[in-house]
Structure formats: C-alpha cells, structure tokens
A and B are shown apart, each in its own frame.
Chain A
Amino acid sequence: MGLLRYTLWRLAQAIPVLIGIITITFFLANQIPGDPVEIMLGPSPAQEQVEAIRARYGLDRPAYQRFLTYLAGVATGDLGQSIYYDRPVLEMILLRLPVTLYLTVSAFIFAIVTAIPLGVISAKRRNKPADHVSRIVSLIGVSTPSFWIGLMLIIVFAFYLGWFPARGLPLPWASPADIRGAETQLQVVRTSLYHLAMPMVALGTLQMAQITRIERSSMVESLQGEYVKLARAYGVSESKIVRKHAFQVAQLPVITIVGLGLSTALGGAVLTETVFEIQGMGRLIITAINNQDYELIMGTTFMFGVAFVIGVIITDVAYAYIDPRVAYGDES
C-alpha cells in the first residue's frame, strides 16, 4: 500500500520538474542565433512570404505570449506544429519514440544480463584472473565511445563478415508488408532482431561496463559485511551467501546507476542512431536542431526530460521496494 502511494507522490512531484524543463528549453531554444524561417525559405526571401510564415507559426508574437500558449498546449497534450516537417510535433515523436525505446530497453537488458553475473563473479574471485579480465573489459567499455564501438561493429560484422545488417531498425511488430523479404510476423521479428544486435551492443556496452564496475565494488563491500560473517558463522553455504545475503544488499547502488544510466543511454541513442541510420528520437532531435525547428526542439527535449524523470522515479520506487529503510514520506 505504502509503495503505491509513494509512487503516486513521486509522480506528482515530477510535474514542477517538467514545467521547469519546458521553461528552460523554451527560452534557450529561442536564444539560438538564426531564424527558422530563413532556413526554410532560403536566402533573400520575399518580405510578405516571411511575414506570412511568421504569422502562421505565431512567431510574430512576443516570447512570453508564445510561452504561455505553448505551456497551455502541453497541458492539453498539444506539443505544437513542426515547422520543418509541417506535421504536429506529437505525431512525429510518437512515430519515432517506439524505435528509440526498443533500442534503449534492449541495450539495457543486454547490459544488465551481462553485467550482473560479471560483477558478482568478479567480486567473488577478487584479485584473481577472472576478476582482472572482467575489470579490464569494463574499463575498456567505460572509456570507449559508443559511436566508435558502433563503427567498429559495422566494419567487422557487417562489412567484412556480413553477419548483421548495418542500417535501420525495423520494429518487431511492424507489418510484414512494410519489411522487404518478410512474409510472416515471425520473419519480421527475426529481421528486427538481426538489425537490433549491433546497435544494442554499441549502446549497451557503456552501461554494461558501468554496471559491472558498480556491481563488483558493491558486492565486494557487501561480502565483507558483518551480516555475511554472521551467516557464515551459522553455517549458511557460500553460494547462498553470495546469491541471497550479500547480493540483495549490494543491489542498492546498482539500482541508482541503472536509473541514471537510462537517461545517459537516451543521450547515447542519438549517436548510435546516427551511426546505424536508425529513424529514432535521436535523429529527430538532430534534425530539429539543424533546422531551428523551435517546436520540435522543445517537444523532443521535453520527451527526453520526461524519460529522465521516469528513470529517476523508477529508481526511487525500486529502491524503496528493495530497501526497507527508505521511508515512504507519508510516515512523517
């Protein structure tokens, strides 16, 4: 019961944060030198044409008025009109967001599934060969940019070996008619997974490395805890100590890193999508910035903000779920 109320409370707290994000983005975006209309119409356009377009997108009104209009729009789910695509911003985002989520979530699953066993083994065999290997791998992973990993993967596995396709990312639930060479849904899923493999590894490696490192240090600390000594002194088997007694305590810092990593990964998705030519949110935001498409910049940034806030809330709730010491706030 407490957990549900706590979740709702945290969601309510997110509202002022989001308003803050909108405010800052709005005024920053408007401060960028240059003019979307000029970009749109090319050099030396006719004055009437410029004014017509300005009026159409409301750019002729003062900033504070436009801001209030925008805020009211967001409240009702209207993120405005993209100048560049000439379509509603929300429509553009809903078109691209699933691709990015598909990529990011897969990268995270890949990261967690590989990092946690690696970190635990590393901690268990501290300062032994397995530990050294895992530490070197994670050090390389932390210090290698995701786009470079992506390029290397393309060179090796797409160009030389030809095992995986290097471009695009069809969604597994796309209609078979839209995917070349696919007739059944199963084939769509297979094609999608083939396309997913390399961008997932490219994006997930940084997360994997970070989680491995924190998992290792957290487990090392936990394994030295008094409660582990106690469990040993009461005849609990070593494997159960690792799996249960030490493991659960050690996950607390890991959850923090995973939660914060969610937003880092979205940022990383921008680069990964560029390298693999994936039509996701990352590409959308780049297009928006290149064309000074105010509404689209604000819309996409807002969505990243929402994702960040959701990541933090998931972290907090997971923390409260695992650690009984976290007060739910309604107790005081």
Chain B
Amino acid sequence: MTEPLLSVRDLKTQFFTEDGTVRAVDGISFDVYEGEIVGLVGESGAGKSVATSSILRLVDSPGEIVGGEIEFKGETIFGLEEGDAGELRPRDEMLTETQMRKRIRGREIAIIFQDPMESLNPVFTVGGQLREFIEINRDLDPAEAKEEAIDMLREVGIPAPESRYDEYPHQFSGGMRQRVLIAMALACQPDLIIADEPTTALDVTVEGEILEMVTALQEKYDTSFIWVTHDMSVVAEICDRVNVMYLGEIIEQAEVDDLFYDTKHPYTSALLDSMPRPDKTVDELRPIEGVMPEAINPPSGCRFHSRCPEAREVCREVHPDLRDLSDEGEATHTGACVKHDAFDVGYGDSPAIETETGSGFSAGLTETGGEAE
C-alpha cells in the first residue's frame, strides 16, 4: 500500500483530574489511507471521541496528549522528542497552534459532531455559519462562499437551499441539521473528515438516508473518513476497515468482512451479539454484561477480563498487545486476546474465572462464544 494519509502511533491522551489521571486514550495506533472509511468502534467511554479530538489537537482541559505521534500528509500534528536534560518536548517540525488552526482544522481535517441540535449556533443563520467556515478554509470571498454554501446544501439533499440559507438552525429538523453539518465538512474540501457518531442522535430511517448520502458523496469527492460509532450495523454499512476500542486501547483491527465473519476478540463478538444481524437468526439479543470500568484505574491484565465470558486466570495477569492474527500473508487482521496461538501464555491450561457475566449464565455464553470463533 501507499503512504497513509493519517498515521497515529502509540497515541496517549490523559486527563489530569483531582481523583487521579484518567488514561482516556492509552497507546493506540492506526492508519487512514486515501479514500477509505475507517471505523472507530466501542462503547461509551472507550476513548473514541478523545482520540478524534487528539487528532485535531483540540482536547479540552484538563486533558492533554502526553505521548505518541500523529502524522498527516507528511506534517507532524503531534510528536515529542527527548530534550538535552531528558525531558520531553515538542519536536521542531510539530505544527504550532496557529499552524494547526490555519492549515489543518477545517481545511485539511474537518469534523462532524454527534449532536446536530447543539452544534449549530442558534443565533446565526445556517447559511451564515456555512459561509463563514467556507470563507476561512477555502480563501473565497463572501459572494463565492455563499454560492458554494448553497451548492453544498443542495448536494446534501436540502430542498430549496436558496431560501433555507437564510433560516436559523431551530427551523431545521435534526436530520436536516446533520445534513448541514455534513455539507459544512464537505464544503471545506478537506482530505479527511472525522465523523464523531454523527447519526447517533437521529432516528433509524434518517440515519439510513444519511449513511446512503455519505457513501455516495464519499465516492464523489474521494474524501477519507474516520467514522466513530458504537453501532456495528453502521460499521457494516459504510466502513472499509475497523478499529475496535475498549477502555483506551484498540483491541482488534481488521477489514470489515474479516471483523464480522472471523471475529478474533471476545469484546468484538460481544458487540456483534448485542445487535440484530440480518445474516444470523438469534432468539434474543445479548447485551454485554456489566459496565466499562473506569479508565482512571483500569483492570490488570486484559482490560476486558472482568466482563469477558471467556476469561481465564491468565487474562488477569497478562496484558495482551495487538498482534497479527491474520491467517496468512499481510498483517490485515490484528487482535489483542491471549486465547489465540500467537500469544503463548498458557491460556489453554489456565482455569476459568468468574466474571460479571455470572456463573450460571457464563456456561451458555462461553458455548456460543466458541461457536463464533
């Protein structure tokens, strides 16, 4: 493959709170290539949104990127080096805050937020907001930017864009506002769009329309996407490759088909089992037991072991890294679970442990979990 458009290496973002350090993103690596839609999947609190705001270097205080590297089109968005006294300092080629603002945000990497109801400014017209961002990021004069804005509104399927241009956000429905936000992102003609759960707040029919529209526009403009979601059906619909996150770590990376049909990590299986699938008939959906532990004090060993139906003694002790689990050839499918042969830590001989899934119930879960392998 060619050089990736965006390359994230061992990114660590932490929040320094009074209760301690929250390791929201704890050493994740992934790439985005030109023209592909990459999924970032996980439950609430997995660190997906923090990861995306780290890419734009817009982590809110008290959060801070503390390590790793982010490269975008040969530019260093984030990178540290060791100083003379052994302290960590930003590398010389790392973009300054002003450069980030002027060259990257909006212009090269645009973002679509989760909540279309809150993301637009209530006191300015929709067109005015669109025009402002287009002006800033494409160096157009106001008249050209307005024309571009109206064209884009038409492109995302807003009827009568000329008259709706002068309306306020409260006059738009949720789905229409999300279309406006998508128009905003596309109109700035970035190379990468980060979509942070853009359809979560919408109902299913609107979600379907939006996904269809995004797929079509993505092909037309050949823009890359990072699509953040917790919804595996959205992943199935639009993503090319998927990164599954759990508690600040990526625990499985695969192309979308491999992820669905050759699932390697029990957490991914659990996510898949908790949603309806047209290709499998099940009697009932199984939610994932328990809640995600706090990132302030992650469990020892595998972070998922406390909720994992397949957990064994060894899972509590060994913290698995992401290893190649592909059948052959290129490393296209990686996972972080010690039950696979790539980890030689004695999973087979280790006794099972009781987890939050409950003892009586866990037998059944383990059975079907095995089936999924």
Contacts and interface: CB of A to CB of B under 8 A. Distances in A.
Interface in A80-134: none
Nearest to B168: A324
Given A233-B106, A233-B111, A234-B137, 6 more contacts: A227-B120, A233-B58, A234-B136, A234-B188, A236-B132, A325-B168
Nearest to B133: A234
What are the 4 A-B residue pairs with the smallest beta carbon separation, nearest first?
A234-B106, A226-B118, A227-B121, A324-B168
B160 interface: no
Interface residues of B, number: 29
8 contacts: A226-B113, A229-B113, A231-B121, A233-B105, A234-B105, A236-B133, A245-B121, A324-B123
Interface string B46-65: 00000000001010000000
B196 to A, nearest CB: 10
Nearest to B185: A234
Interface in A200-256: 225-227, 229-237, 245, 248-249
Most buried by A among B111, B121, B184: B121
Interface residues of A, number: 19
Contact of A230 (B102, B119, B123, B136): B119
Interface in B272-296: none
Nearest to B52: A233
Contacts of B170: 324-325
A277 interface: no
A235 B122 contact: no
Interface in A292-332: 322-325
Contacts of A226: 113, 115, 118-119
Nearest to A227: B121
Contacts of A237: 101
A150 to B, nearest CB: 38
A231 B101 CA distance: 10
Given A234-B133, A236-B136, A324-B170, A249 B107 contact: no
A231 to B, nearest CB: 8
A250 to B, nearest CB: 10
Nearest to A126: B61
B119 A227 contact: yes
Given A324-B168, A324-B170, A234 B119 contact: no
B124 interface: yes
A236 B132 CA distance: 9
Nearest to A233: B111
Interface of A: 225-227, 229-237, 245, 248-249, 322-325
A235 B111 CA distance: 11
Contacts of B184: 234
B105 A249 contact: no
Nearest to B98: A237
Given A235-B101, A235-B102, A323 B136 contact: no
B124 A235 contact: no
B110 A249 contact: no
A230 B112 CA distance: 8
B107 A235 contact: yes
A245 B110 CA distance: 18
A203 B101 CA distance: 45
Given A234-B188, A235-B102, A237-B101, A227 B118 contact: yes
Interface string B93-117: 0000000011011110011010100
Interface string B138-167: 000000000000000000000000000000
A324 B132 contact: no
Nearest to B116: A226
B123 A233 contact: no
A322 B113 CA distance: 25
Nearest to B184: A234
Interface string B163-196: 0000010100000000001001000100000000
A230 B125 CA distance: 15
Contact of B122 (A229, A231, A233, A249): A249
Nearest to A252: B123
A324 B121 CA distance: 11
Contact of B105 (A225, A227, A232): A232
B117 to A, nearest CB: 9
Nearest to A230: B119
Nearest to A247: B123
Contact of B110 (A231, A233, A323): A233
B201 to A, nearest CB: 11
A232 B58 contact: yes
B118 A225 contact: yes
A235 B139 CA distance: 12
Nearest to B132: A236
B105 A235 contact: yes
Given A324-B168, A325-B168, A234 B123 contact: no
B169 to A, nearest CB: 9
Contacts of B58: 229, 232-233
Contact of A234 (B110, B115, B124, B168): B110
Contacts of A324: 122-123, 125, 168, 170
Nearest to B167: A324
